[in-house]
Amino acid sequence: MEYKLDTIKGVGPSILRILRNEGIWSTYDLILRVPKSYETFSITSLDQAHHQEVITLSGVISSTPKLIRSPKADRVVFDVKLNEETIEVVVFGRGYYVKTLSVGLDVVIKGTFNLYLRKINASSIVKRDLSIPIKPIYGIEGIYDRTLSGIIQTIFESNQVDIFETIPNHLIQQYRLMDRKEAFKMLHMPHEMKDIYTAKRRFKYEEAFFLQLKIIAHQPSQLKRDPKKYQIDQVRALIESLPYELTQDQKDATNDIFRDFKGEYASYRLIQGDVGSGKTLVSLIASYAIITAGEQVAFMAPTELLAQQHYQVFKTHLKGVKIALLTGKTKQKDELKLSIKKHEYDLIIGTHALIENDVIFDRLGLVVIDEQHKFGVSTREELIKKSMSKDVLYLTATPIPRTLASIIFGNSQVSIIQSKPKNRLKIDTVYLQKTEIKTLYDAIRETVSRKEHVFLVVPAITSTQVTDNIESVYEDIKSAIQAPIFILHGKLSDDEKNQMMENFMYTAGSILISTTMIELGIDIPTATLMGIYAAENFGLSQLHQLRGRIGRGNLHSTCYLVSEKNDIERLHLLSNIDDGFKLAEYDLIERGPGDFLGAEQSGYLKFKFLDILKDHSILIEAQKNVKDILKRPDFKTNSVFKYLNRTITEKVNV
C-alpha cells in the first residue's frame, strides 16, 4: 500500500509543494531520501571527499600525537581511525594539542583533505560530546532538517510506510545484515554512529547485489563448443623465437587464454595492459594458436594507423602465416574479400571495415578487438557474429581499476599485464608552471636538433575556456622554434589525419601539435619529448596514456606537464608513479567511472552507499551469490525469488 504525504501530521501545503518539487510523492519516496550527512558524525563522507575540499570527520585518535618543530611553523601529527580506514591529521601552530589529545579520544576534526596523501590539515579539533544526539542533514531547501526528521519519525511510529525486503533471507542471515526497514530507520533516526555504519553496510551489499544481478542476468549465455585443437609444439617454438623473454604477467595472461581455449565454452577475456606492457604480443601468441588449429583470426583496431602498425608487428613475428590488411584504404578489396572467404588468409587485421556484410570468413575461430571501448557495442557484436565459436579477446591500454573491470567483465575474465619489458626506459615527467614555458622550448630545440620527434598536446582546437589550443600553441611554436610543424585534430578527414601522421613520422626532427587523438597506440621509436598544455584539464589516466606515446625506443624521453593552475600535488603524482592502474584508482576516486566507461555506461554505477573501489570484496561476494542463485533450477518458479525475477525483466525501484 502507498501512503500519501498529505495524510501525515506536520505536512502542510507549503511542505507538500516543496517535497513534490523534489520528486517526493509518497511516504516511501521520503524514506528513500536518506540524509546527506550527520551534524555530529560526518559533514562529508571520506569516500566522497574531493581533493582540497574542507570536510568534517569524526573518529578515534589511534596514535600518540607528536610535536614536530620547524623554523616556519610547529605542527602536531597523529592518526585518526575512522570506521573503515586510518588517516593522518596535521595541525599547525597548536603545540598544546600534544597535552590535550591522547589515544582513544573521540574527536570531531574540521580541515582540508588531501586526497593523494590521504591526510587532513586540521583547522579545528574538538572532543565529541557523546550525549548530543546525532542530527540528520537532508539539505532540502525550504524545510528545516528538524522538521523533516519529525515527519519521518511520525511515519515510522504510525507505521505509515511499507518497506519490503529485497534480498533473499539466507543472505541476510549469512552476512548478518540489518533487515531493510530497520536499516532505513537507523539512517533516519540513529542512536549512535554504529547504527549508521551498520545500516550503510546493509545498503552497500544491496546495491552490489542488484548491480551484479542486472549485469549477470543479461550476459549472453555461454556457447558450448569443442576445445580448441591448437598445436602446442608450434606455439612453444614461436615463443622461443621471440627476441625477448615474456614477462611473468605476459606468461600469466597467455596461460589464462590457453585455459579458456581448452575449455568447453566460448570465452571472452579482457587483457588489460599498461602502456608498453606487451599485450599485443600476448594476443599474437593466442592468434597463432588458433591458426595452428586450422581456423581464421580477425583483429580489429580503431584506426587505420593502428591497424597498419599491428600488421607490421604480426608480419615480423609470424613468418609463415598468411596475413591480410583490410582498411578503408585497401586497394582491390573485392579480390581480397574473395581470398578471405576461400581461407587463403589465416589472419585478417583491419578497422571497422571487417564488419561489412561482404566480408565473409571461413571458420573464424577468434576475434581480437583492440581498444574495445573505442568501438560501439553494435560494431563489436557485428564482428563477433561472424565467428563460428564466439571466442573473443578484448585488449585495452587504458587501465581500468580491477574492481571496475570485474564488475563489467566478471572476475575470472580479466587478465592484467602490469609489469613492463626490461627494455622499456622510464620516462622523466616534469611539472611546469606556464611562466616556465621557456624550459619546454629549450628542450624542444635540443630534441629536434637530434632529429627526434616532439609531441605537443592541447585540450582543444579553439576554445574560450582555455588559453592553450591548437591555434595559439601553433603560433607560439612557429615564432619560437625553427622546425617542421604538423597539426592533427578531429576536424580533419580520415585521409588527412593519416597523411598528417605519416608526414610527421617520416620527417626527422619534426613537431606534432595535436589534441588527445594521439593517446592510442602510435609507435614512433624516435619520439622522445612531449609537452602537455593545460594539463589540469586531463585525468591522470589520460595523461599517463598520452605520456606513453614517447619512450617507445631505447632513447631517453621526457614529458612536460604545463599548467597555469597550482595543481602541483596531483600532477606530481605522474612524476613519481609509472603504474597506470594506480593512477586509474585516483581517477576513479576523483572523477568517477565515466572516464573509463563513458557517461552512458557509467550511469548505472552511481550509488548512494557503495564505493566501487573500496568495496571490492562486497562486489565479489555479491557476484558469487548472484551466480549461485541464478544457477538454481527453481529460480524462475520459487516464490522466494519472485522479486528478483521481476527486477530482471522490468525496471523496479528498490
Tens of pLDDT, residue by residue over 519-542, are 565 678 999 999 999 988 888 888
* Cell matching residue 534: 593545460
Beta bridge partners of 300: 350, 369
| Structure confidence at residue 254 (pLDDT) | 96
* Nearest C-alpha neighbor of 171 from the set 184, 181, 180: 180
Pairing between strand 296-300 and 136-137? unpaired
Cell representation of residue 331: 586497394
What's residue 577's pLDDT? 83
Determine whether 298 is exposed, middle or buried from the number of CB atoms within 10 Å of its CB (0-12, 13-18, 19+): buried
Residues with Cβ within 8 Å of 338's Cβ and at least 6 positions away in sequence, in order, are none
Largest CA distance in the chain: 86
The answer to whether 394 and 269 are in contact (CB under 8 A) is yes
CA distance 45 to 34: 14
- What is the predicted pLDDT for the residue at 57? 84
Separation CA 62–CA 402 (nearest Å): 30
Q: What is the mean pLDDT of residues 482-487?
A: 95
CA distance 526 to 529: 9
Q: Is the pLDDT of residue 32 over 70?
A: yes
Read off the pLDDT band of 41 (50, 70, 90). Answer: very low
Rounded CA-CA distance 27/25 in Å is: 7
- Grid cell in block for residue 589: 576516486
Position 461, amino acid:
I
One-character DSSP codes across 148-173: HHHHHHHHHHTT-------S-HHHHH
Average pLDDT over residues 457-478: 82
C-alpha cell at 145: 532538517
d(CA 187, CA 136): 8
Calpha distance 547→551 (Å, rounded): 8
Identity at 589, one-letter amino acid code: I
Q: CA torsion sign, 332 to 336 to 338 to 344? A: positive
Q: What is the mean pLDDT of residues 128-140?
A: 79
Is there a contact between 409 and 270 (Cβ–Cβ < 8 Å)?
yes
Return the percentage of the chain with pLDDT > 90, whole number. 52
Cell of 106: 573521540
pLDDT for res 515: 86
Q: Output the DSSP codes for 199-224.
A: HHHHHHHHHHHHHHHHHHHTSPPPPB
Contacts with 506 (C-beta within 8 Å, 6 or more apart), sequence order: none
pLDDT over 70 for what percent of the chain? Answer: 91
- Strand segments, DSSP code E, in 96-152 are 106-114, 119-127, 136-137
Q: Could you tell me the pLDDT band of residue 80, with boundaries at 50, 70 and 90?
A: very high
In this predicted structure, what is the pLDDT of residue 519? 58
What is the DSSP code (8-state) at residue 408? Answer: H
- Which band of pLDDT confidence, cut at 50, 70 and 90, is reported for residue 94? confident
Q: Which residues pair with 580 in a beta bridge?
A: none
Among 126-130, 183-187, 440-444, 595-599, where is mean pLDDT lowest?
595-599
- What pLDDT shows up at residue 598? 56
pLDDT for 412 beyond 80:
no
- Looking at residue 596, what is its pLDDT? 65
The band of 300, judged by pLDDT with boundaries at 50, 70 and 90, is very high
- Collect all residues with Cβ–Cβ distance below 8 Å to 275 and sequence separation of at least 6: 397, 544, 545, 547, 548, 580
Q: If you average pLDDT over residues 321-330, what whole number do you get?
A: 92
Give the residue from 352, 380, 351, 353 showing the smallest Cα distance to 367: 380
Q: What pLDDT is attached to residue 437?
A: 93
Most confident of the ranges 198-207, 302-311, 593-602, 604-613: 198-207
Residues 6+ apart with CB under 8 A from 331: none
Mean pLDDT for the chain? Answer: 87
* Edge-to-edge strand ranges of the sheet holding 364-370: 323-326, 347-350, 296-300, 364-370, 392-396, 268-273, 414-417
Note the pLDDT of residue 295: 97
pLDDT in tens, 145-182: 999 999 999 999 999 999 999 999 999 999 999 999 99
CA 93, CA 96: separation in Å to the nearest integer?
A: 9
Q: Which of 354-363, 510-519, 540-549: highest mean pLDDT? A: 354-363
Give the residue among 531, 515, 523, 504 at the shortest CA–CA distance from 445.
Answer: 531
Q: What is the pLDDT of residues 574-587, one digit of tens each?
A: 888 888 888 887 87
Sequence-distant (≥ 6) Cβ neighbours of residue 66 within 8 angstroms: 76, 77, 78, 98
Contact 136, 145 (CB under 8 A): yes
The mean pLDDT of 208-237, rounded to a whole number, is 89
Q: Residue 257: name the closest of 347, 391, 369, 364 by CA.
A: 391
**Average of pLDDT values for 350-363?**
93
**Cell digits for 554?**
631505447
Model pTM above 0.95 = no
Question: What count of other Cβ atoms lies within 10 Å of the Cβ of residue 263?
Answer: 15
What's the rounded Cα separation, in Å, for the pair 413 and 259? 11
Q: What is the 3-state secondary structure (H, E, C) of 582-636?
A: HHHHHHHHHHCCHHHHCHHHHHHHCCCCCCCCCCHHHHHHHHHHHHHHHHCCCCC
Higher pLDDT, 83 or 102: 102
Q: Which domains does the chain have, with CATH numbers?
A: 1-38+138-159 (1.10.150.20), 42-127 (2.40.50.140), 232-417 (3.40.50.300), 428-577 (3.40.50.300)
Q: How many CB atoms sit inside 10 A of residue 243's CB? A: 7
Lowest mean pLDDT among 22-36, 48-62, 111-125, 628-642: 48-62
pLDDT over threshold 90, residue 287:
yes
What pLDDT does 463 receive?
59
